[in-house]
Structure 1
Amino acid sequence: MLQFLSRRLLYMIPTVFLVSVVTFAIIQLPPGDYLDSLAAELSDNGGLDEGTRLALEAQYGLGQPMHVQYFKWMKGVLLEGNFGISFEKNLPVNDLIWDRLGWTFAISTLTLLFIWIIALPIGIYSAVRKYSFGDYLATFLGFIGLAVPNFLLALVMMYVAFKYFGQSVGGLVSPQYLEEAWSWDKFIDLLKHIWMPIVVVGTSGAAALIRIMRANLLDELYRPYVVTARAKGMSEFQLLLRYPVRVALNPFVSTIGWILPTLVSGEIIVAVVMNLPTTGPLLLRALLVQDMYLAGSLILIVSMLTVLGTLISDLLLAWIDPRIRYQ
């Protein structure tokens, strides 16, 4: 297992390097830069004078070639943990993203747990009771979950919560707790609000994994080894969990590689609609104004989550099925 982990960690080094190069190149693709966006915003007030433009170019190094800017950025990231300066806010990117990243990771982790708790038992039930009323109901709700946009579900849930339950909507706590220090009452208020973005963001992921688990388990339920174990008198529940479910979990676990970054990047519109203090609105604004280092840092983190999610899924797969370590 240690050798397997070492190989996967070595593979991550060139992957992360290539991801950083592609990330920086993508940020540079749109024509112009932050100063052009700033000049467009100030056009009604006379625009950005040439002296100020030259001073800002010298301050941020925007006049340098792209590869020079890239190595300057990566040097700060790798050696100092410094992601650069946000052009728009004139603040270190580190000061802007870490607090929001904490909320993003918290919501994403809880959403991932919510997806598994919902998808695993429903997927097993749908496979074992295929073509039953419960199976058709799960299938119908799954298709609804996949079809309804997250932001529309967020709007509906916010309307219902405000109209019929009198709950404040928008944000993770009520307005009176925004500036207060953490207390038991504030924590309880957080619990009253945080379940809504978890359900909204996790609905489509849970619906997809229910279908995946059902299909995987149906492929295993009628294999010869299951028939043999049943013929030997093993109880149905014990047989189900020991053999077919364990095998069917392989593709189920491998989805962590794409679910983890999808949860972080997919909550952008939901975060804007629900006014969440996460990285979503920050990334959207940075892309709109071409705030290069801020947008690049956030995209790099989301991309690294893909690599991290793949590593986690590989380790879980190797733990569930030892054959993977040797093949």
Structure 2
Amino acid sequence: MGLGTAAAAGGVLGAGAGAGTAAAAPAAPDRSTRRLSATYAREVARAEGTWSSLISVGPDVVVEQQPDKVVNAQSVNKIAVATAVLDKIDRGLLTLDQRVDVTSAIVIQDTDGVFALDRAYPSSVTLGHVMSTLLTVSDNTAVRLCGLVCPAAELNEILQAKGFVHTQVVPVQNPNRFFLGTTTPRETHTLLTKLVSGQLLSPTSTDFLLNVLRATSAFTDGVRLNLTTPERLRVATKAGWFNEDRHEAGVVFDPAGAAVATYAMFATGPFSGDDAVNTTDFAATHPALRARQVIGRALFDVAGAAAAPVSTRVHRTPAYRPSNGG
């Protein structure tokens, strides 16, 4: 199943810039957001590729480039998968400590994640562990394990009921299996803003999801690469990669735990440099990730200076607590 192989269901639904051309939002409100917009434009032009993005700081849209384009979401859609499972938990149909069976037949023998490293099947894990591995190390076997308790058709219905008609998975013949599917930058941005404002899930499920996405074991090669450990803990992020796609979406919090910036950046090749090298490079050295690293630093700095709305919910940032075992 990998990180998703479904073709994008449609094309550009709204006006936007084309490949290699960054479209900044109109009327950036101050010098810092104008600088962020210029940083985005410069780095995207340098990386090349086709970008579809929506970035906001506070109530202001800072970058808006093809925000309604339907794209292959890849593993960014794992946020939506976890949302559907947590929605069932909120309705009392599942529990975080409910166990699911891990069999050799269900384990994807890829090089991402941790389940393929186990070599000790059959076994069982809780849904809490499944979603933690789904969102931190982006384990693809965890996608199948979620499908055991939330079949593809039901998952899509839950997302549609929440207003996400383009953020969908792709069903296959087995009702408990699916490929990661599509989204748009706007829908992913909306999903994240609704999550942090408490409109998507219960407070307990919201806290669970945001804590996992802010973990130090979550993705660090993109937006969070040039941040310190305490700074990384103020960024909830999820990346997705497959073939030429290099995506990332998330939320930046202020020191008090209020969400002050939201980003959804989806990019596909060809990128600058050797296309054959880029296609097999999923690390921090890829041109798209280098661009997101610079954009991420600039975004964090702008968000740090932004005032959160008075009505913003606070999601306390966990303190980093290293350990040496024992």
More helix by proportion, 1 or 2? 1
Task: Compare CA radii of gyration and give the structure with the larger one.
Answer: 1
Which structure has more relative contact order (CA 8 Å, sep 6+)? It is 1
TM over 0.5: no
